[in-house]
Amino acid sequence: MNPQIAMLVIGRLGVALVTLLIVSAVVFAATEMLPGDIVEILLGQAATPEAVAGLREAMHLDEPSVLRYWRWIIGLLSGDLGTSYANDLPIAEMIGDRLTNTLRLAAVTGGVAVPLALTLGITTAMFRGSTYDRVVTTCVVSVISVPEFMIATLAVLVFAVWLNWLPALSFSSGTPGWGEMLRIFAMPVITLCCVITAQMIRMTRAAVIETLRMPYIEMALLKGASRWRIVMRHALPNAIGPIVNAVALSLSYLLGGVIIVETIFNYPGVAKLMVDAVATRDLPLIQSCAMVFCIGYLVLITLADILAIVSNPRLRK
């Protein structure tokens, strides 16, 4: 590997680790500032001061915040996420069950959204200024202007209430078949695709158009190369960095930005688990869910940066 590329990759990894450490401190501090006393909530209003003090000591809540933060970080590094305050279950098991559902939803959404967004983004850049480009751009701007909770609400009204095609809640207690799986994932995937596809289309289109303005593209055009060959052979390899970053940014939203979607459709994912934990002031569970989202986001962004560095033709040479 080129030494320059190796140093850039190492630098990106170092930045990611430092960012993760800073985020962990912010997450811990933010959860500490949540209103309400978890001990009083667990024991109820009839609890005696002795019982409150004893439980606070048993839960190490009487220790300084710095010491509890240090113990929490050590537990994260060792894979011990602690125990839930609300139901006394291991947090790792609770998140593990829900994380599978969230990743499944993200995989289905990504499998639909990424090919669609790349196709529309590249083709609108190729036919810039045409009626097709204007129609797609108008639709993209319209979708971006609508928040995801509105899209989810409209999907429920149209497909579940009026047409009665799909269930309003994306939940199944048993092992569903393929047909039932499509019905379960349909509306959450539609909602998330509308949100992330629009951003990917705009960023992909902008990256390809910027590359098509380069002098070597004009030279290839003067030599008689076809439009498809110019885009696929010359423009895309040099626009892959911005496109990969656009895809990574959009997919990272699926890990932490599905809170509204999972709540509206009652989908049993990590985001829904975090919302329930906030309602019960379950601090360790909130912290662990937030760190799962942050780690997933940093992993995607770091991989996108590394791919952009490695795919840069000037650095490879």
Per-residue pLDDT of 261-302, as tens digits, reads 888 888 888 888 888 888 777 888 888 888 888 888 888 888
Secondary structure (3-state) at 90: strand
* Residue 256, pLDDT score: 57
CA distance 42 to 214: 64
Average pLDDT over residues 181-193: 81
Q: 278 in a domain, yes or no?
A: yes
Which residues make Cβ contacts (< 8 Å) with residue 186, sequence separation at least 6?
159, 166
Are the C-beta atoms of residues 241 and 8 closer than 8 Å to each other? Answer: no
Dist CA 278 CA 287 (whole Å): 10
pLDDT band at 36 (very low <50, low <70, confident <90, very high): low
Q: Is residue 279 part of a domain?
A: yes
In a domain, 151, yes or no: yes
Measuring CA to CA, which residue among 21, 73, 5, 106 is closest to residue 298? 21
Q: Which of 275, 269, 241, 276 is nearest to 255 (CA)?
A: 269
pLDDT surpassing 70 at residue 317: no
Mean pLDDT of the chain: 80
Give the pLDDT score at 179: 67
* CA 185 to the chain's CA centroid: 17
Q: Are 270 and 289 in contact (CB under 8 A)?
A: yes
Q: pTM for the full model?
A: 0.77
Under 8 Å between Cβ of 306 and 67: no
Q: What is the rounded average pLDDT of the residues 294-312?
A: 80
Tens-place pLDDT, residues 118-176: 899 888 888 888 889 899 988 888 888 877 778 888 888 888 888 878 777 766 555 55
Domain that holds residue 307: 3-16+92-316
Q: Is residue 42 part of a domain?
A: no
For the chain, percent of residues with pLDDT exceeding 90: 2
Instruction: Say yes or no to pLDDT of 315 above 70.
Output: no
pLDDT digits (tens, 9 = 90+) for 60-101: 777 788 888 888 888 888 877 888 877 778 888 888 878 888
287 is a domain residue: yes
Cα gap 39→68, rounded to integer Å: 16
DSSP letter for 87, please: T
Asked if 69 contacts 260 with a C-beta cutoff of 8 angstroms, the reply is no
More confident residue, 121 or 219: 121
Between 94 and 310, where is the model more confident? Answer: 94
Within a domain: 49 = no
Contact 122, 297 (CB under 8 A): no
Give the DSSP letter of residue 29.
Answer: H
Specify the CATH number for the domain of residue 200. Answer: 1.10.3720.10
Q: What is the pLDDT of residue 82?
A: 80
Structural domains of the chain, count: 1
Is 79 contained in some domain?
A: no
| 43 is a domain residue | no
**Highest-confidence range of 6-20, 174-188, 246-260, by mean pLDDT?**
6-20
Q: Is 83 helix (H, G, I), strand (E, B) or coil?
A: strand
